[in-house]
Amino acid sequence: MALHFERSEFDARRDRLMIELAEKKLDAVLLFAQESMYWLTGYDTFGFCFFQCLVVKADGSMVLLTRSADLRQARHTSIIDNIVLWTDRDGANPAIDLRNLLNELDLLGARIGVEYDTHGLTAYNGRRLDEQLQTFGQIADASGIVSRLRLFKSPAEIAKAEKAANLSDDALDAALPLIKQGGDEALILAAMQGAIFAGGGDYPANEFIIGSGIDALLCRYKAGRRKLTKNDQLTLEWAGVFHHYHAPMMRTVLTGKVSKRHQELFDAAHAALLAVEKAMTPGNTFGDVFDAHARTLEAHNLTKHRLNACGYSVGARFTPSWMDMPMFYQGNPEPIAPNMTLFSHIIIMDSETETAMTLGRTYLTTESQPKPLSRHDLDLIVQ
């Protein structure tokens, strides 16, 4: 099997989930998030774009319901022994297959948790699921159970994150020689992703962000490339990825001369990220981290140019996004604790002067100050 962790690691994760199920008095949980399946069993696929479900009973036993295309995928990449297939056919309703499976597992009338909050369960399939389960048992929303367990990283997971961070640094090193007047965004992007692949890394859970000129103010990927001019700005957000574990970074790189506005925005971003680092310690919350970011940018008169979040947890994620919960936003009560891998980004987009500035990297939380996982410093990069 193509497992990326020792069997003892998966056993420990299963035991943690069993404790949660017992505390919440759940007889079983239906997992639809690919991240949950990967974390719990190693199952690695993009087949979650179709209906599939990992049923986990309170005693730790597991059954995967999936399609024939993923049968060998599950056997080869996971510790799952019991795999049941639903058949592609006209008018197929796999929610009925799942109900029948739950009946065979003696769960009729049981208290069952459902992982609703995931791209692995579309609204269409969710409605079909509810139709089949509304009279079958006691259904509870169990969306946050596994995602919160994944928030706290084991030593083996931390090693994956550190490898991902090395790949993220390698990607920046590959890009920098190409960022200059006449530099082609397409070649920059190819060099970055190529460095990650060459280093043994994986595809990211979402596209890298690349944009120059006015497009440097965008926070999402879009199609289309341009070449850099003499005095330009290039915003990059990317992630080194190793065994699906992500370590994002973010930078706005300048070519030519540094404008007064760029320097002002960089100074603010740098101060904000240092304030975030100071707040990213046990005893504070995710909301406190956001507040440190917001206060600093407010002091620089940049409130209207900032975003309403400044980062999030990262780990093993699948399409469509490497962003994980919880996020750094106002009022988030989730406590900062050791052994979290967290990405903080400072994003300042001044549409009035069409000036962009970003700064971000991934951290490992500790008993005190967080540890940056990047070997790069936070200096303004000018090519």
pLDDT digits 0-9 by tens, 42-52: 999 999 999 99
**pLDDT over 90, % of the chain:** 99
Q: Is the pLDDT assigned to residue 56 strictly greater than 90?
A: yes
Q: Are 290 and 332 in contact (CB under 8 A)?
A: yes
Question: What is the per-residue pLDDT for 174?
Answer: 98
Q: What is the pTM of this model?
A: 0.96
Same fold, 7-150 and 152-372: no
pLDDT for residue 1 is more than 80: no
Does 3.90.230.10 match the CATH number of domain 152-372?
Answer: yes
What integer pLDDT is reported at residue 208 of this predicted model? 98
Q: Could you tell me the residue ranges of all domains in the chain?
A: 7-150, 152-372
Per residue in 68-125, pLDDT tens?
Answer: 999 999 999 999 999 999 999 999 999 999 999 999 999 999 999 999 999 999 999 9
pLDDT of 66 over the 80 cut: yes
Residue 58, C-beta contacts closer than 8 angstroms, at least 6 positions apart: 18, 21, 22, 26, 27, 28
Q: Quickly count: other Cβ atoms within 10 Å of residue 331's Cβ.
A: 10
What would the pLDDT profile of 275-327 be if each residue is shown by its tens digit? 999 999 999 999 999 999 999 999 999 999 999 999 999 999 999 999 999 99
Question: Tens digits of per-residue pLDDT, 361-372?
Answer: 999 999 999 999
Whole-number Å distance between alpha carbons of 96 and 246:
36
Write down the pLDDT at residue 2.
Answer: 84
The two structure tokens encoding residue 128: 């079909």
Other C-beta atoms lying within 10 Å of the C-beta of residue 271:
16
Instruction: Determine the pLDDT at residue 293.
Output: 98
The DSSP code sequence of 12-62 is HHHHHHHHHHHHTT-SEEEE--HHHHHHHH----SGGGS--EEEEETTS-E
| CATH of region 7-150 | 3.40.350.10
| pLDDT exceeds cutoff 90 at 166 | yes
CB distance 133 to 112 below 8 Å: yes
- pLDDT the model gives residue 203: 98
